[in-house]
């Protein structure tokens, strides 16, 4: 995905990362937006001038029905007037432009993320055709694609997934036999706000006489080994009570992290992937013992050997970010939206991508949290005007790219949140190569969380754990393919 597509979504929300992690285990809590003067005007990047090649249409006030998650209302829900909040007003402008362009009205229905799935299932089962476009939870919503509830985007002739406003990386995690039931991109601000990254405390770096890692990133030398070296020996008992504790006001840590974030962000950033595809775009379970053992050993060094703060229960979660904002952690593993909670932090901080496995890796990779929104169309739409649906959906996506992206990138992110020009540049690295793994999405309760499971036990060897998952996980992926094929057959593909 082009970097201008994603960067804008970095800090849309103020909710803590713990409440948007855990995928199917819990839902994110309600999102809020930031204040910014609406008098500010963004410079539109040259590459936003991309035609969506849509025909002229006037639908005479026809209603376009959008179902969204309450926990991710920023994707679509707005008041009908400007509020002075940058995100809100950019989305409002997008919606109004699309309404004026095609002569339509939007009906927006919001419900909890679990209820959204139930609504879609009930609607499709009854054949009532209640919704034209739905924003669903990535992990819990994935099952919809396997049970005939969704329409392949390939049936929407004017939705052009090659355009820059659609995330190309989604294909790896969700496409089967070159059919996609769920997509995302500029159309969903919420999705990009929960992409993984690392924060570092610049004040602590200065005090420890360390060089900021920006140069390592740009030179392709930002690796797990370098993170290990930088955090080595930092965790320390500073209050003299003989225990290093997150509740202390003095003790410090090299890294502060949450068990529903860091195992995944480090594994995928290092090139891990549990599912591969054959030449016909059919997925199969494909763990690679040597590669994954090497990745895990380096993760183990950073988290366990270097005594990182690795919070595993909600009673300690509040300390994950607080420790960093209080100046007691050199690094924080979190998602991009967490920076909003650092506005009042006394110490200076920077943002970098999660490190690569080694310098032979070609690119930085960023894990996308399972609470991410995904866009889908209910299968009942097959009896609707598919040209109408595809034109409006493509229009919303392209208008997001033209209106929301420049506004938020220029006036919200780089001028208001990040504390230096280097961090703004680093965010480009964070969002340039987002990762979607069918194994994580569909095997979350098993093999998809093997790193979390092993770190929880402070285990040093992955072989027995991976062997335990091997047959069961391979079978589950095969069953997903079979279910997907039935779903395609039902849609007439």
Mean of pLDDT values over 35-44: 31
Sorted by sequence, the CB contacts under 8 Å of residue 183 that are 6+ apart come out as 153, 161, 166, 167, 170, 174, 374, 375, 376
Whole-number pLDDT of residue 337: 84
Residue percentage of the chain with pLDDT more than 90: 67
In this predicted structure, the answer to whether residue 16 has a pLDDT above a threshold of 80 is no
pLDDT at 415: 64
Distance between start and end Cα atoms, the chain:
27
Question: What is the reported pTM?
Answer: 0.86
**Confidence band for 493, pLDDT divided at 50, 70 and 90:** low
Mean pLDDT (whole number) for 292-306? 97
409: confidence class by pLDDT, cuts 50, 70, 90:
low
Q: Do domains 7-192+371-417 and 196-367+431-490 have the same CATH topology?
A: yes
pLDDT band at 175 (very low <50, low <70, confident <90, very high): very high
Report whether 328 contacts 247 (CB < 8 A). Answer: no
Please name the residues in contact with 381: beta carbons below 8 A apart, sequence gap of 6 or more.
129, 132, 151, 389
| Superfamily of domain covering 196-367+431-490 | Periplasmic binding protein-like II (3.40.190.10)
Q: Where are the domains of the chain?
A: 7-192+371-417, 196-367+431-490
- The mean predicted confidence, pLDDT, of the chain is 86
Contacts of 305 (CB under 8 A, 6+ apart): 228
Give the pLDDT confidence of 120-156 residue by residue, as tens digits: 999 999 999 999 999 999 998 888 988 889 999 999 9
Position 30 scores a pLDDT of 34
Which pLDDT tens digit goes with each residue over 87-105? 788 899 999 999 999 999 9
pLDDT of residue 465: 93
* Whether the predicted pLDDT of 492 surpasses 80: no
Assess contact for 321 and 17: CB atoms under 8 A: yes
Class of domain 7-192+371-417: alpha beta
């Amino acid at each position: 995905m082009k970097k201008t597509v994603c960067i804008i979504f970095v800090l849309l929300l103020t909710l803590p990362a713990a409440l948007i992690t855990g995928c199917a285990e819990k839902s994110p809590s309600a999102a809020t937006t930031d204040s910014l003067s609406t008098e500010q005007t963004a410079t539109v990047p040259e590459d936003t001038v991309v035609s969506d090649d849509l025909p002229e249409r006037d639908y005479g006030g026809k209603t376009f029905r959008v179902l969204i998650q309450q926990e991710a209302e920023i994707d679509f829900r707005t008041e009908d007037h400007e509020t002075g909040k940058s995100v809100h007003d950019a989305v409002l402008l997008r919606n109004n432009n699309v309404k004026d362009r095609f002569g339509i009205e939007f009906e927006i229905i919001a419900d909890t993320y679990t209820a959204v799935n139930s609504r879609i299932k009930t609607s499709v089962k009854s054949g009532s055709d209640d919704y034209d476009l739905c924003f669903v939870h990535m992990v819990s919503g994935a099952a919809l694609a396997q049970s005939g509830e969704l329409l392949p985007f390939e049936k929407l002739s004017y939705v052009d997934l090659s355009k820059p406003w659609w995330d190309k990386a989604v294909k790896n995690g969700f496409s089967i036999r070159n059919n996609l039931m769920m997509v995302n991109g500029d159309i969903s601000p919420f999705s990009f706000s929960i992409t993984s990254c690392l924060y570092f405390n610049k004040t602590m770096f200065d005090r420890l006489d360390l060089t900021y890692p920006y140069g390592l990133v740009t030179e392709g030398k930002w690796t797990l080994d370098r993170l290990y070296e930088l955090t080595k020996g930092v965790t320390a008992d500073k209050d003299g009570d003989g225990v290093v504790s997150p509740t202390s006001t003095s003790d410090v840590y090299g890294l502060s992290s949450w068990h529903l974030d860091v195992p995944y962000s480090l594994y995928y950033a290092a090139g891990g992937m549990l599912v591969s595809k054959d030449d016909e775009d059919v997925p199969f379970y494909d763990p690679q013992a040597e590669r994954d053992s090497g990745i895990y050993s380096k993760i183990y060094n950073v988290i366990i050997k270097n005594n990182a703060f690795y919070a595993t229960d909600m009673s300690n979660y509040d300390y994950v970010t607080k420790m960093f904002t209080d100046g007691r952690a050199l690094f924080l593993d979190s998602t991009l939206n967490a920076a909003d909670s650092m506005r009042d932090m006394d110490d200076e901080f920077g943002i970098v991508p999660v490190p690569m496995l080694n310098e032979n890796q070609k690119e930085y990779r960023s894990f996308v949290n399972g609470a991410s929104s995904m866009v889908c169309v209910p299968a009942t739409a097959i009896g609707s005007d598919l040209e109408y649906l595809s034109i409006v959906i493509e229009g919303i996506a392209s208008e997001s790219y033209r209106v929301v992206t420049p506004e938020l990138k220029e006036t919200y992110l780089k001028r208001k949140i990040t504390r230096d020009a280097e961090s703004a540049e680093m965010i480009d690295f964070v969002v340039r190569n987002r990762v979607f793994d069918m194994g994580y999405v569909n095997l979350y309760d098993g093999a998809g969380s093997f790193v979390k499971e092993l770190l929880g036990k402070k285990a040093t060897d992955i072989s027995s754990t991976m062997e335990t998952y091997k047959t069961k996980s391979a079978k589950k992926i095969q069953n997903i393919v079979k279910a997907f094929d039935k779903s395609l057959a039902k849609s007439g593909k």
